[in-house]
A and B are shown apart, each in its own frame.
Chain A
């Protein structure tokens, strides 16, 4: 059993996640979304997300998707980078859930492919359509959602959340989670490298699982200790249970215009989806 492939894969996934979550390059470039006030931008994008969730037809979803792409384009985000970021999450979340839905057990209907005759197991037309709609809906939501961190510095995201009245606990947790994802990803990577550099003989399958188990244990202890220490560091610097934010952005007419545009477009698309328009 060769687990070099396994290691390499994890290494790539981690580097990739790292890059896609913590890539701040486009928050500073010129573009439509970058020039908007953070609160307005977040609300508008959330409106689009709600619209996509409410839509049932593939066509409507495709239009929403096109809007997300257009916004990315107008914000000078290279399409390749953008799609890469959107589609790394899709297979993980949507794809796995959508697979069982395609079968007649979950979605009865007209058979498309018959896999087994007795008992009758098949992939149905309705099932496939449902799976596609579902995946597309998730993809659309993610397309809008990733636009927030791509075009907004993380500190602006948190202070906008604060201004929008989101409870402090939620913001602190989001913030620490954001930070820990980074530390943990890198800790795993460091651990892999150090294991690699110490490994004298190649490990077998069972042994390498044992190693992984130990590593995960170490990871938990480390997280716990870091959490405790970080809390002390916050206390030491005057933290009393609430985080103070500085908010310097101002809402302009351009922001209002964009917000109005988002509301109107979303309303029209949802009505169209329901067959009203």
Chain B
């Protein structure tokens, strides 16, 4: 498997002295979905900023496709362009991503900087249509609803078809329908060969991931999402789906059950062990 990111002993301190990350090690491979979980202030956003080459570690190293990310490399215009095209970052707060006068220009911002003009126009229209927000194209991005803003901010990075997508809490502030849409979108990223890193509190979303890391300044867990349930979830302060909570309670009482994370999984599991009423 091709290694996309390799993070080695990364620590980060903000100028005001607060430590955001301490000796973080992680690897991300091609075509994986990796979830990064952790409580507020755990350093998740900071980690993504480092992975996006926006800030650089106070100590430790980060490699992207085998190349070390440093300030110098990103000052080289050609390398920078290549990196910016390959990696897209959806910020936690869509407001900071929306600084253009119209939705259309917002989505055209990256392509205009990275492609020729004609290709930029074409890509922008295509992305808006794919994301089903073409009707918003002439609106001010400022007075859209929270969910619309989120979709626009995702479109902003999709318009350059990045290979790697970093998403900071992509489902926060979304209603259930939009949340499902975003989850479908993430699945489709994987199907089309992209690599996705999602930061979230939401275990439902994390279940999409092939692997997950739990972060609290340090990496405190690394493995499959399912195996998370062996940890003390209360301490981690995560959004555990109610179905899972139910099964966790059963387990506490001494029942030997697997922990499902979705209703469907729970139904499958229960229907195997429960007798059906109408069948003789």
A interface, CB within 8 angstroms of B: 22, 24, 28, 153-155, 158, 175-176, 178-179, 182-183, 226, 229-230, 232-240, 244, 246
Residues of B near A153 (CB, < 8 A) are 101-102, 138
Check A236 against B52 for contact (C-beta < 8 Å): yes
Most chain-A Cβ atoms within 10 A of its Cβ — which of B89, B101, B104?
B101
Kindly list chain B residues whose C-beta atoms are within 8 Å of the C-beta of A22: 140, 142-143
Measured CB to CB, the residues of B under 8 A from A are 49, 52, 54, 77, 80-81, 84-85, 88-89, 91, 93, 95-97, 99-102, 104-105, 108-110, 112-114, 117, 120-121, 138, 140, 142-143, 156-157, 160
From B85, B89, B95, B105, give the contact of A226 (CB < 8 A): B95
Q: 6 additional contacts, CB 8 Å, given A236-B89, A237-B113?
A: A153-B101, A175-B100, A233-B91, A236-B84, A238-B110, A238-B113
> Of B91, B96, B101, which is within 8 A of A155 by CB?
B101
Give the Cβ gap from A40 to chain B, nearest Cβ, in Å. Answer: 20
Q: Is the CB of B113 within 8 A of A239?
A: yes
Q: Which residues of B contact A238 (CB under 8 A)?
A: 80-81, 84-85, 109-110, 113-114, 160
Instruction: Check B97–A233 contact: CB distance below 8 A.
Output: yes
Asked whether, in the complex, the Cβ of B54 is within 8 Å of the Cβ of A183, the reply is no
Taking a contact as CB atoms under 8 Å apart, the answer to whether B99 and A176 are in contact is yes
Supposing A233-B91, A235-B54 touch, asked if A24 and B99 sit within 8 A by C-beta, the answer is: no
Q: Which residues from chain A contact B110 at a C-beta distance below 8 Å?
A: 237-238
Known: A226-B95, A230-B96, A244-B113. A237 touches B156 (CB 8 A): yes
A24 touches B108 (CB 8 A): no
CB contact between A240 and one of B54, B80, B100, B143 (< 8 Å): that residue: B80
> Do residues A240 and B113 form an inter-chain contact, with CB atoms below 8 A?
yes
Residues of B within 8 A of A244 (CB): 112-113
CA distance A230 to B104 in the complex (A): 18
Cβ-defined contact, A155 with B112, below 8 A: no
A267: min CB distance to chain B, Å: 34
20 contacts between A and B (CB under 8 A): A24-B140, A28-B138, A153-B101, A155-B100, A155-B102, A178-B101, A179-B99, A226-B95, A229-B91, A230-B97, A230-B99, A232-B96, A233-B97, A236-B52, A237-B113, A238-B80, A238-B84, A238-B85, A238-B160, A246-B108
Give the residues in chain A near B138, CB-CB below 8 Å.
28, 153
| Cβ-defined partner of A234 (8 Å) among B99, B108, B157 | B99
Minimal Cβ-Cβ distance residue in B for A227: B96
Interface of A: prevailing SS: helix
Look across to chain A and name the residue whose beta carbon is closest to the beta carbon of B85.
Answer: A238
Chain B residues lying within 8 Å of A226, measured Cβ to Cβ, are: 95-96
- A183 proximity list for chain B (CB < 8 A): 95, 142
Q: Which A residues are CB-close (under 8 A) to B143?
A: 22, 182
Q: Tell me whether A154 and B101 are in contact in the complex, defined as CB-CB below 8 angstroms, given that A235-B54, A238-B114, A246-B112 are known contacts.
A: yes
For residue B105, which residues in chain A have a CB less than 8 angstroms away from its CB? 155, 246
Could you tell me if A237 and B109 are in contact, using CB atoms closer than 8 angstroms? Answer: yes
Nearest CB to that of B93 among chain A residues?
A229
In the bound complex, residues from chain A placing their C-beta under 8 Å from that of B104 are: 155
Residue of B nearest to A244 (CB): B112
- Within the complex, the shortest CB–CB distance from B88 to chain A, in Å, comes to 8
Q: Which residues of B contact A240 (CB under 8 A)?
A: 77, 80, 113
Question: Do A233 and B108 form a contact, CB below 8 Å, given A238-B81, A246-B117?
Answer: no
Residues of chain A lying within 8 A (CB to CB) of residue B142: 22, 179, 182-183
The smallest C-beta distance from B166 to any residue of chain A, in angstroms, reads 9
| B93 neighbours in A (Cβ, 8 Å) | 229
Kindly list chain A residues whose C-beta atoms are within 8 Å of the C-beta of B96.
226, 229-230, 232-233
Chain B minimum-CB-distance residue to A226: B96
Interface centre among A22, A178, A229, A236 (most CB of B within 10 A): A236
Q: Which residue of B lies closest to A155 (CB)?
A: B101
Q: Chain A nearest CB: distance from B256 CB in Å? A: 48
Q: Which residues of B contact A233 (CB under 8 A)?
A: 89, 91, 96-97, 99
